[in-house]
Structure 1
Amino acid sequence: MSSRIVVTGTGTGVGKTVFSAGLAHLIEASYWKPIQAGLEEATDTELVTRLGNLSADRVMPELYRLRTPAAPLHSAELDGIRIDADSLNVPVAGERPLIIEGAGGLMVPLTNSTLYIDIFERWQLPVVLCASTELGTINHSLLSIEALRKRQIRILGIAFIGRRNPDSESAICDIGRVRWLGRLPWIEPLTADTLHCVFKNSFVRNDFLA
């Protein structure tokens, strides 16, 4: 079976969508965002498709497209929709690897009784944790690592995003006992070409396919 990898973050806005685009291109994967909250601007699927240079057959449609950029539970309530957690089953991506991107952090509620981490626990797929390098990242990262370990979810490694911060990165990897996968710096201008070039120099393809 082809590799299936969940990409999650220590919180909202850490850069996991851009990371997912770079990873999808690097390992020639398909992409799936089960729940999209926020439709006024480019969706995460549209951004990954553009930055990852993904053809239409490598993009799985979202199960839920919610208008408001908020936690899926709240956004769904505003839209008059109830998310069915049991409907969140991993699609078949053929022979390609599949990148699955969550929403926000691990404890984001999907329903009144289901968090995103509950879905990850049911899937039992390896997780790449995306973490900011900014102030506060040690606490957020170690809490996320602890939550994943408590659910016995395999952590493939941690990918840092932002300015170089060797002290924080080392502390998280050493204390959390997780593999350092690399660091994606902020890219300006952010285009498909600049992302692919930087990503190739920042991460090792086989680290995600072993």
Structure 2
Amino acid sequence: MSIQLIVAGIGTEIGKTVTSAVLVEALQADYWKPIQSGALEDSDTATVRRLVSNATTRFHPEAYRLTQPLSPHAAAELDGIEIHLEHINVPQTSNTLIIELAGGLLVPLNDRDLSIDWVTQSGLPVVLVSRNYLGSINHTLLSVEACRSRRIPLMGLIFNGPTVPATEQFILNYTGLRCLGRISQETEITSEVVQSYARQIDSDWITTFQSPH
């Protein structure tokens, strides 16, 4: 069974790229980052490619490659272009596809649209990445509320970074979402580290997930 899913974070620098690499490796899935802002020579696509070891994964080109490491709407303006939702088309593949968003769900893409508008339009389910820090409960719950208010199906949560059991348990109890995995704070992220976490991912949640749509 193949599925398309979106990896979204509760903010920026949350660990979406590492999480995406782990899911790509665990599911031998394809990878796609619709919008890359800055770091074009060392993009998130290049990072995931470096961290993934299986021979099945294909890496699909970004819809937008922006030169500045800014919010997509600001980076696009500096590059003299405008991002249009209708130009962000999910790649065609028969394989499972992991889609990594840029920044958080409410990041602006232009003067009118946010990332969550494209997610809503896509109709695809979301895996939400949370990272423990002061304020992360608030940011996680707001992200969950934003998805639920737009009827975006949530597959569950992946916690990245230092573990705080009380924080994680509150989030899981309050939202009723499933914990799909945990990625600890690592001194270095290598392909071997990604493989070790990939082996811990139970892919049953993919096949048993039922979208409310």
Name the counterpart of 1:135.
Answer: 134
Name the counterpart of 2:47.
Answer: 47
C-alpha distance after superposition, 1:129-182 (max 9, x if no partner): 000022211000000000000000000001000111111001111112211112
Using the alignment, how far apart are the partners of 2:87 and 2:79 within structure 1? 18
Gaps of 5+ in 2: 209-213
Using the alignment, how far apart are the partners of 1:159 and 1:41 within structure 2? 28
Q: Is 1:120 equivalent to 2:119 in the alignment?
A: yes
Gaps of 5+ in 1: none
Q: Is 1:207 equivalent to 2:202 in the alignment?
A: no
Aligned positions of 1:1-210 closer than 5 A? 2-39=2-39, 42-53=42-53, 58-94=58-94, 96-201=95-200, 203-210=201-208
Q: Which runs of 4+ in 1 moved over 3 A?
A: 54-57
Using the alignment, how far apart are the partners of 1:40 and 1:102 within structure 2? 16
Using the alignment, how far apart are the partners of 1:204 and 1:85 within structure 2? 33
Cα displacement (A) at 1:56: 8.8
Cα displacement (A) at 1:188: 2.6
Report the identity percentage: 42
Aligned-residue CA RMSD in angstroms? Answer: 1.5
TM-score by length of 1: 0.94
Using the alignment, how far apart are the partners of 1:25 and 1:147 within structure 2? 29
TM-score by length of 2: 0.93
Give the AA of the match of 2:110. Answer: T
